C-alpha cells in the first residue's frame, strides 16, 4: 500500500453518471481523494442497469466506480437538496455532468455556490460546451467522435469509417476533467480561491486532433483513414505472420534497414520505391506484400522476439483475455482483486499511476447503491435520529432499501 497519495485529504462530491464523469472521479480517487458519489433514489447512476452483467452486478458501472462511496438522496425534494448542500459545504470539489443550466434549476447555481463556498472547485462536464448553438443539447461519445473528425480517420478506407472500439471521447474528457481539477486545486493552494472549471466531449475530441487536424487547418487536406497502418509513416502498422498479426513500428531509418535484415530482405531498402519515407508511403501496399511474404514463414512469437531484440518497437495484437495474461501487464499489477459488500470477488483494473515506484492500489470495490448513506451522513454531522428521519421520509436510501426495490 502506498504511504503517500497526493490527493489524500481532498473531498469530492460526485454528481456524475455514465462514463466521462465517473472515469474522472475514479482517477482522482486512485490518487487519494475521498470521492462521495451522490446518486438518485431508485436506480442510482443509470449505468447500474447497463450490461454486461455478472449476476446482477453491472460491469459497466463497476469498471469506473472503484474507490468511491455511495450516498443515495432524493434530489428532487427540497430536503434532499438541503442535505446535498450540506455535503458540498464541507467538500473541496464538486463534479457534475448535467446539461448546462440543470445545476442552477436544482438551486445550485455555480455563482451562488462560489459565493457561499469561495474555496470550492466546481468541475462541469457537458456534451458541447457552455456556449454556442448546441450548448443546451445532450451529447454522447459517438456523436462527439463523429462531429470531431475522429470517425473520419478511423476505419479501413474513406467509404467505411468506424467509431473507436472504446468510448474514447468519454475517457479523454474524464481524463481532461481530472487534470483540470488537479490544476484548480494547485491554484487554490496558491491563491486561496476556488474556480469553476468546465470541459465537454466535443472540446476534448477536437483537442486531440493533433497532426490530422493540423493538416486540415494548414494545408486544407482532408485526412483519410488508413486501417491499422500509421497514416504517414511506413512501415508502421499491422502485419500478418504465420499465425497471428503483429504491430511493427518503424520511426527511424536505421530501424528500417535492420528490419529488412531480420526479414532476410536486405534488398528492399535499395529498391527505388522504398528509398525514403515518402516513397514507402506511396507504395505501402506493395511493401506490405513483400514484408508479409517473409513474415508468414514463422509465427508471431518468433518475429516479436527477434524484432524487439533488435531495438525495433514491435508487439502482438491481443484480445482482452490475452491482455490480462500478458507477463508485462501482470508485472505492472494492472489487475487487483477485491470483494464487493456481498462478499463476491471482483477483479478491477487499477488507475495508470505509480507513486515513488509503486503502483496505486484499488482500496475498495465499487459501492452498492446507498451502501454508505448512513455512514456518510453521520460523518457530515447528521445525528442518528436525523438520519433515520431522512430515511423514513424517503429523502435518503440505504443499501438494504435499494435491494428491496430491485
Kindly list the catalytic residues: 170
Q: Is the peptide bond before 266 cis (omega within 30 degrees of 0)?
A: no
Dihedral angle sign, alpha carbons of residues 266, 257, 247, 304: positive
Q: What is the dihedral of CA 195, 15, 141, 145, to 10 degrees?
A: 0
DSSP string, 168-204: HHHHHHHHHHHHHHHHHHHHHHHHS---EEEEEHHHH
Q: Which residues 6+ apart lie within 8 Å of 346 measured at CB? A: 54, 57, 62, 337, 338, 339, 340, 365, 366
Given a contact cutoff of 8 angstroms between Cβ atoms, the answer to whether 137 and 195 are in contact is no
Calculate the CA 97 to chain-centre distance. Answer: 15
Q: Strands 93-96, 11-14: parallel, antiparallel or unpaired by DSSP?
A: parallel
**First-last CA distance in the chain:** 36
Element spanning 121, H or E = strand 121-126
Q: What is the DSSP letter of 365?
A: P
Determine the 3-state secondary structure of 321 from DSSP. Answer: helix
Taking CA atoms, 91 is separated from 45, 67, 76, in Å, by 21, 17, 21
Residue that is written with C-alpha cell 466546481 in the block = 122
Taking CA atoms, 112 is separated from 6, 115, 177, 187, in Å, by 29, 5, 22, 21
Calculate the CA 397 to chain-centre distance. Answer: 29
Rounded Cα distance between 100 and 97, Å, is 8
Amino acid at each position: 500500500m502506498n504511504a503517500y497519495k497526493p490527493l489524500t485529504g481532498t473531498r469530492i462530491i460526485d454528481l456524475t453518471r455514465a462514463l466521462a464523469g465517473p472515469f474522472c472521479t475514479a482517477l482522482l480517487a486512485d490518487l487519494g481523494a475521498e470521492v462521495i458519489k451522490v446518486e438518485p433514489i431508485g436506480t442510482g447512476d443509470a449505468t447500474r442497469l447497463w450490461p454486461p452483467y455478472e449476476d446482477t452486478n453491472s460491469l459497466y458501472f463497476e469498471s469506473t466506480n472503484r474507490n468511491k462511496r455511495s450516498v443515495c438522496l432524493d434530489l428532487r425534494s427540497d430536503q434532499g437538496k438541503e442535505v446535498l448542500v450540506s455535503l458540498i459545504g464541507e467538500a473541496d470539489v464538486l463534479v457534475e455532468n448535467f446539461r448546462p443550466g440543470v445545476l442552477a434549476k436544482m438551486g445550485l447555481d455555480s455563482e451562488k455556490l462560489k459565493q457561499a463556498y469561495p474555496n470550492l472547485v466546481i468541475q462541469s462536464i457537458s456534451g458541447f460546451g457552455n456556449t454556442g448553438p448546441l450548448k443546451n443539447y445532450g451529447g454522447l461519445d459517438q456523436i462527439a467522435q463523429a462531429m470531431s473528425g475522429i470517425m473520419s480517420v478511423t476505419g479501413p478506407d474513406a467509404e467505411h469509417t468506424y467509431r473507436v472500439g472504446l468510448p474514447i471521447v468519454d475517457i479523454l474528457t474524464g481524463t481532461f476533467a481530472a487534470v483540470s481539477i488537479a490544476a484548480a486545486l494547485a491554484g487554490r493552494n496558491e491563491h486561496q480561491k476556488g474556480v469553476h472549471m468546465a470541459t465537454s466531449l466535443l472540446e476534448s475530441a477536437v483537442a486531440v486532433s493533433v497532426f490530422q487536424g493540423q493538416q486540415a487547418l494548414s494545408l486544407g487536406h482532408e485526412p483519410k483513414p488508413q486501417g491499422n497502418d500509421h497514416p504517414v509513416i511506413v512501415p508502421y502498422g499491422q502485419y500478418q505472420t504465420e499465425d497471428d498479426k503483429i504491430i511493427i513500428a518503424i520511426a527511424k531509418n536505421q530501424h528500417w534497414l535492420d528490419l529488412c535484415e531480420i526479414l532476410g530482405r536486405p534488398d528492399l531498402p535499395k529498391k527505388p520505391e522504398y528509398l525514403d519515407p515518402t516513397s514507402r508511403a506511396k507504395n505501402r501496399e506493395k511493401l506490405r506484400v513483400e514484408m508479409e511474404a517473409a513474415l508468414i514463414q514463422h509465427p508471431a512469437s518468433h518475429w516479436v522476439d527477434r524484432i524487439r531484440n533488435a531495438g525495433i518497437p514491435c508487439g502482438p495484437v491481443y484480445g482482452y483475455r490475452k491482455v490480462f495474461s500478458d507477463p508485462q501487464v501482470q508485472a505492472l499489477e494492472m489487475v487487483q482483486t477485491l470483494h464487493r459488500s456481498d462478499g463476491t470477488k471482483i477483479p478491477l483494473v487499477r488507475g495508470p499511476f505509480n507513486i515513488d515506484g509503486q503502483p496505486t492500489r484499488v482500496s475498495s470495490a465499487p459501492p452498492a447503491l446507498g451502501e454508505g448513506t448512513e455512514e456518510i451522513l453521520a460523518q457530515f454531522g447528521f445525528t442518528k435520529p436525523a438520519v433515520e428521519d431522512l430515511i423514513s421520509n424517503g429523502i435518503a436510501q440505504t443499501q438494504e432499501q435499494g435491494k428491496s426495490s430491485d
